[in-house]
Structure 1
Amino acid sequence: MKYSINTVVRLLLAGSVVFTSCNKKLSEYNPSGLTPDVTYSNAKGFETLVNAAYTYTRFWYGKEEGYSLSEMGTDIWTNGTGDVFPQLSRYDNLQGSNTSALNVEWDNFYEAIYLCNTGIAKIGDVPDYTAAQKTIREAELRFLRAFYYWHIVETWGGVHFTTQATKPGEIESTAYKSPVDTFYKQIFTDLDFAVKNLPEKDKVTDYGRVSIPVAKAFLARMYLTRGMNDQALAMATDVINTSKYGYGLLPKYADLWNMANLKNKEVIWAIDYSTNLSNNDLATSAYPTGHSRGSNSGHMLFLQVYDQVNGNILARDINNGRPFNRYMPTKAFLDLFNDNDDSRYQSSFQTAWYCNKAGRAVGNTFIKDSFDYKVGDTVCYTPKNTQSAAVMNAQKYTTYDISRVYKADGTPSQRKFYVSLKKFKDSTRTSANEAQSVRDVFVIRLAEMYLIAAEAELKRGNTGTAATYLNAIRTRAAIPGHEAAMQVTSAQVTLDFILDERARELAGEQLRWFDLKRTNKLIDRIKTKNMNPDAAQYIKDYQVVRPIPQTQLDAVTNKSEFTQNDGYQ
């Protein structure tokens, strides 16, 4: 892990200042000739540092590497034919030398850490900040440092830890393993500072900046992660019940995903992707090393290749999305939904595709007869139940029921046509092939606080209260008139039930791998319960952490001390 953190300042039109982190080859880019000490000697320059510290969230949230590390290799997703990181999806030959997603996230999270460390160390020297401004900006940087360190320690375990800012021109070429407890001690210290010193929610004018309730919500997640259930409950219920924060569950689950309603009262913290796509493109002069991150990619990754069912009458369009065919649901995930009562199934998934180009074509793939299609006729249907061949073949459209997608043991028999997660789709894109989406990514929303409270109460032995928190979520999710059927009793509340509920509520929201790791259920649900047979055949007990990128191991000078995580080559 050879870092050249402060040798390079990127000072450009986008208004961001970040430091480069490279492996073996140093890269220098400083068109202004300014040094960090000069840049951060005034409030205007320091603002660019704080703003830049936020931008590293965009290397994970809404990005394929982040989805692959946070949703894949779990009980609810497996890989479609377009998956580019099958090592993460299936644990098949997962190594630090063959999985570039690891490099992207490692490099950028550590760049973010060093940037936060630099800002925290230097903020006291900014003369034109008031004392209050210094405290708020330091609180933001401490929150972000805790946020990035959580991703690092949960993904890789006890790897390199530092709170020190490097000096201009200094190259750090050694790295050391630190206990997981060391990371969490600092995470809690930083979040405590953030809770005490961030502004109240109504004082934050820039959407996407953190506030007191954001820090409390993330702190609730951290307490739950560390088994501090009393504290997790207290913090989650504070966010739920404090009226001045103004949070509330939306009346309908489907309303959360409406492109016209993204900035709503259920969102505690979001990555705010700009409606001006050029503002989301990090492959600009502000990031001369060539990082092309763009905006939210989630709208493409979970879609089946519907335009290959019958391209003559079902063409790719804006409404159906650009189908990258990366991820498909496991059969076990689909089985978690009672779609007669739970609106989250139809609100989350697309199961029917309709003719958007009238004509005569071979419709039903399995009987190969030609039919006349009008715009709006069903072309493809993917029910989550089993239908008889006679029923399916009697239709002019093609049906991919469960039997045509999954084998009896749940292994996919084909990976192109399936129930598709639709909640991240973006109908505001300007063309059918537009890869960028302006959709915000919800990092924390209020429903998670109810689920944290329920899990904390279960672990405290209070299953009745846990059921109350779960029923608040399930009542909102109920199809109108089915509210009673959605209620659960205290006897039904188990850790597995809560994990099922989190899957139904939070699918695709980049939490699942962390949920299974936190509850010690990663191996159990994938392998023992065989909820993901693709991954079950490869996953090993040590894979509750990911391998360190080989480039980092190659770059350090103390190779005998900073070694690969156990189990990996």
Structure 2
Amino acid sequence: MKKIKLYIYTAISSLILFNCSGYLDEENLGNTTAENFYNTETGFEGLVNSAYATLRDVYQPTPYMFCAGTDLFFAAHQEVPLGLASYQTLTPSEGAVETLFSNLYKSIQITNLALHYANETENFSSLPSRIAELKVIRAYYYFLLVQEFGDTSLVTDLVDSPITHFERAASSDVYEFIIDELTVAINDLPPSPSNFGRLTKRAAQHILAKVYLTRGYETFGSTSDFTEAATLADAAIGGQSLNLSFNQLFDYQNDNNEEILWSIQYNKSQSGEVSHNWDYPWGPLVQGSDDGVNKKNTLHPTEYLFTLFDDNDKRFEGTFLNIKTTPYSGWLLDPSNTPVQYYYPRTAAQIAGVAAWIAEDPNNRSNTIISPIDPHWWDGLNQTDYPSLRKFDRVQTSSVQYTHDIYLARLGETYLIAAEAYLQSNNPGNALARVNTVRQRAGADSVSNVDLDFILEERARELAGEGMRWLDLKRTRKLMEYTKLRNPDIKTLVDGGVDPFLSSDGNYKILRPIPLSAIALDSGDYPQNPGY
């Protein structure tokens, strides 16, 4: 396999071991050499923990790369990179693209470092599992790379000297590598984690199911990919029901719940608050409050998303905060003593029951502004008066330092992966059963048939804001179709006779561009993606 770019090898010399919760605690290495320390169980465990910590680097930025330019959210502020929001001006110099590309390869280098020392460290009982965990993390990073950028340079060895040229491996080869790595790793992973947050057999099965599902849509994929994806997704489900209410999945301080197969964990570390920026872009505008909340209306929900939920679908209130309190986090920390500034009823029953709602808590609700659903909710100029996406809300007061975990694999999505895979492998009965399991937990009515569009609607209702949508639309080849109809930024261009996806070279901007800085550092001819 080819090694990585010139600028990536520097990650070795700048490697920092991060402090994380519980099992990720590190020791200060002092003057101990890497060779001596990583050859011990304690040292190697620290190296594995540093590989987990790289997930925070990949997911720390505001999630424009994962959520902008879809049918669920549009850009309502100039902070959102215009190229990601509407594609027309997307170029190889886009900073958010370069950040993701660079962070993924730097993180891969750290996993390569750990896997290098796996061959040299002392033997201990959990070593096979730790090696498997590293392989899954690295495979997951390559899965992100191949979806975002297509043909990808495969780096499987420790890079300890500058590399001035490398080749891009064909996407088909990258998928083969990912599948091989995950298949091997599954055999050595435990069924349940020794510490919450560690990878397990079921988490790896979930990821591998999604890899097969995604490859099935590629020109080099086949129906057998969908069949394999369905089998793996059912194995990851393992007979477990969706027992929690949807609200409980994202409840305050309930991040370590039974439906989470894999997540990035956050807590206050010895060096200060460890956090991400996934609570920031959903608005409405909250700044300078006394509870440490900082929100801005940058990614605004579309009319399509706000109106996608049936009246009895509890996922709306589990996704969006249907009140706005002063201070913002009062609804979490002290609801009985916090005035409600806005109330957002959406169903006919909720609107008709406003008086009864106020009567339930007149001390906090008598002065509430009632703001029922209508077009002002999805007006991008509306900075303050619409329901906030609540899934990643954080609290940062003098006594509370809380950042919600980011879920990378959870059981509700596993059911929907199985549903999509069964549908595409010509088994609509099983697809329907998996979809209805998800809907029943949400309180929504069961349906009698499903197609791909309906499954994507279910994924929108279940996973809005969780960083899946751009990848979902790209995988199913619905990105241009859906966004041209539902994203106002893109629809405005299309209605004006401009196709923002179409490049001057006649190709469509479906993949992300290879960063210009990366190409410039290569001493050979490193090809750019079509459309750029």
TM-score range, shorter chain: 0.7 to 0.9
Does 2:69 align with 1:69?
Answer: no
Deviates more, 1:137-146 or 1:83-92: 83-92
Equivalent residue of 1:443, what SS?
A: strand
* 3-state SS of 1:303 partner: strand
* Match of residue 59 from structure 1: 57
Q: 1:507 to 1:326 in 2, by over 3 A?
A: same
Corresponding residue to 1:545 among 511, 521, 525: 511
User: What is the CA–CA distance in structure 1 between the aligned matches of 2:481 and 2:11, rounded to whole Å?
Assistant: 46
Cα deviation, residue 15, structure 1? 7.0
Q: Percent identity?
A: 30
Matches of 1:133 and 1:526, distance apart in 2: 47
Please report how far the alpha carbon of residue 36 of structure 1 lies from its aligned counterpart in structure 2 after TM superposition.
4.6
Equivalent in the alignment of 1:451: 416
Residue 531 (structure 1) aligned to one of 486, 509, 512: 486
Q: Distance in 1 between matches of 2:253 and 2:11?
A: 43
Partner of 1:364: none
Amino acid at match of 1:337: F
Q: How far is 1:35 from its partner?
A: 5.8
Which residue of 1 is the match for residue 221 of structure 2? Answer: none
**Alpha-carbon contact 1:400-1:417 (below 8 Å) kept:** no
| Residues in 2 aligned to 1:507 and 1:135: alpha-carbon distance in whole angstroms | 36
Q: Does 1:487 align with 2:446?
A: yes
Can you list the C-alpha shifts for 1:282-322, whole angstroms capped at 9, x where unaligned?
A: xxxxxxxxxxxx41322222121167xxxxxxx84539x43
Alpha carbons of structure 1 residues 279 and 471: separation in structure 2 relative to 1, 3 Å: farther
> Does the alignment pair 1:188 with 2:179?
yes
Find 2:392's aligned residue among 414, 424, 443.
424
**Which residue number corresponds to residue 291 of structure 1?**
none
Show the counterpart of 1:285.
Answer: none
Task: Give the aligned partner of residue 200 of structure 1.
Answer: 191
Structure 2 residue 236 is matched with structure 1 residue 239: yes
- The aligned runs of 1:265-304 (5 Å cut-off) are 265-274=258-267, 276-278=268-270, 294-304=274-284
- Contact kept? 1:9, 1:34, Cα under 8 Å: no
Residue pair 2:343, 2:368 contacting (<8 A) in 1 also? no
Amino acid in structure 1 at the alignment position of 2:49: N
- Write the distance in 2 (CA, Å) between the matches of 1:383 and 1:396: 12
Q: Does the residue aligned with 1:146 lie in a helix, a strand or coil?
A: helix
| CA pair 415-495 structure 1, distance change in 2 beyond 3 A | farther
The aligned residue for residue 365 of structure 1 is: none
Aligned partner letter, 1:429: Q
Q: Any conservation in 1 of the 2:18–2:53 contact (CA below 8 Å)?
A: no
Q: How far apart, CA to CA, are the structure 2 residues paired with 1:477 and 1:520?
A: 27
The alignment partner of 1:260 has SS state of coil
In 2, Cα distance between equivalents of 1:419 and 1:86: 24
1:463–1:129 Cα change, 3 Å:
same
**Aligned residue number for residue 157 of structure 2:** 164
Structure 1 residue 553, shift from structure 2 partner: 1.5
Q: State whether structure 2 residue 406 is matched by structure 1 residue 441.
A: yes
User: 1:46–1:356: structure 2 CA closer, same or farther, 3 Å change rule?
Assistant: closer
Q: Contact between 1:15 and 1:48, CA under 8 Å: does it hold in 2?
A: no
Q: Write the distance in 1 (CA, Å) between the matches of 2:15 and 2:321.
A: 44
Q: Are the aligned partners of 1:542 and 1:567 in contact in 2 as well (CA < 8 Å)?
A: yes
1:300 partner SS: coil
Pair 1:32–1:553, CA change in 2 (3 A): farther
Is residue 352–residue 380 contact of structure 1 (8 Å, CA) maintained in 2? yes
Counterpart CA distance in 1 for 2:139 and 2:6 is 22
Cα deviation 1:449-470 (Å, max 9, x = unaligned): 1101111121122223212111
The residue identity in structure 1 corresponding to 2:529 is: N
Separation in 2 of the partners of 1:249 and 1:382? 28
For 1:78 and 1:377, the matched residues in 2 are separated by 30
User: Relative to 1, partners in 2 of residues 1:550 and 1:415: Cα closer, same or farther, differing over 3 Å?
Assistant: farther
State which of 313, 316, 334 in structure 1 corresponds to 2:306.
334
Tell me by how many angstroms 1:266 deviates: 0.7
Q: 1:535: Cα distance to partner?
A: 2.8
Tell me how many residue pairs correspond in the alignment. 478
- Kept in 2, the 8 Å contact 1:385–1:402? The answer is no
The alignment status of 1:348 with 2:319, answered yes or no, reads yes
CA-CA distance at 1:519 after TM superposition: 0.8
Cα deviation 1:251-288 (Å, max 9, x = unaligned): 311011112322111111111112x244576xxxxxxx
Relative distance call for 1:14 and 1:157 in structure 2 (3 A) is: closer
1:49-128 equivalence runs, <5 A: 49-61=47-59, 63-65=60-62, 67-81=63-77, 83-97=79-93, 99-126=94-121, 128=122
Alignment match, 1:40: 38
Q: Helix, strand or coil for the counterpart of 1:305?
A: strand
Preserved CA contact (<8 Å) 2:326 2:340: yes
Alpha-carbon distance, 1:474 to partner: 0.7
Q: Compared with structure 1, are the counterparts of its residues 189 and 353 closer, same or farther at alpha carbon in structure 2 (3 Å cutoff)? A: same
Per the alignment, in what secondary structure is the counterpart of residue 442 of structure 1? strand
Shift of 1:44: 2.7
Q: Which amino acid aligns with 2:104?
A: F
Secondary structure at the aligned position of 2:283 is classed as coil
Query: Aligned equivalents of 2:12 and 2:58: distance in 1?
Result: 23
Deviation at 1:381, TM superposition (A): 4.9
What's the secondary structure of 1:226's corresponding residue?
Answer: helix
Cα separation, 2, equivalents of 1:193 and 1:265: 26
Matched residue SS, 1:299: coil
Contact 2:392/2:403, CA 8 A, preserved across alignment: no
Q: In structure 2, how many angstroms separate the alpha carbons of the residues matched to 1:437 and 1:326?
A: 22
In structure 1, C-alpha distance between the alignment counterparts of 2:396 and 2:242, rounded to whole Å: 27
Partner AA of 1:341 in structure 2? N
Give the partner amino acid of 1:5. Answer: Y
Question: What is the aligned counterpart of 2:477 among 520, 526, 540?
Answer: 520
Quote the Cα distance in structure 2 between the aligned partners of 1:14 and 1:470: 39
Aligned to 1:547, the other structure's residue is in SS state: coil
Contact 1:146 1:190 in 2 (8 A): yes
Q: Give CA-to-partner distance per residue, 1:485-541, whole Å, 9 cap, x none.
A: x11002xx11010000000001111111111111111111112xx111213432346
SS at 2:263 equivalent: strand
Report how far residue 42 of structure 1 moved. 2.9
Asked if the contact 2:286/2:296 (under 8 Å) is kept, the reply is no
How far off is 1:334 after superposition? 1.4
* 2:212 aligned residue: 223
1:7, 1:299 → 2: CA distance?
A: 29
Comparing 44-53 with 376-385, greater Cα deviation is found at 376-385
Amino acid at match of 1:68: Y
- Post-superposition offset of 1:135: 2.1
- Corresponding residue for residue 305 of structure 1: 285
**Structure 1 position 471 matched with structure 2 position 464:** no
Q: Describe the shift of the 1:397–1:2 C-alpha distance in structure 2 as closer, same or farther (beyond 3 A).
A: same
CA-to-partner distance for each residue in 1:434-456, whole Å, 9 max, x for gaps? 9x742111110001111011111
TM-score, scaled relative to structure 1: 0.76
Q: Which amino acid in the other structure matches residue 430 of structure 1?
A: T
Provide Cα deviations, 1:1-52, integer angstroms capped at 9, x if missing partner: 4235268545768579xxxxxxxxxxxxxx9676654443333332222111
Structure 1's unaligned 5+ residue stretches are: 17-30, 282-293, 308-314, 358-374, 387-394
Question: C-alpha offsets along residues 140-198 of structure 1, whole Å, 9 cap, x if unaligned?
Answer: 111111011011111111132222222x3x10121322210111111011101110112
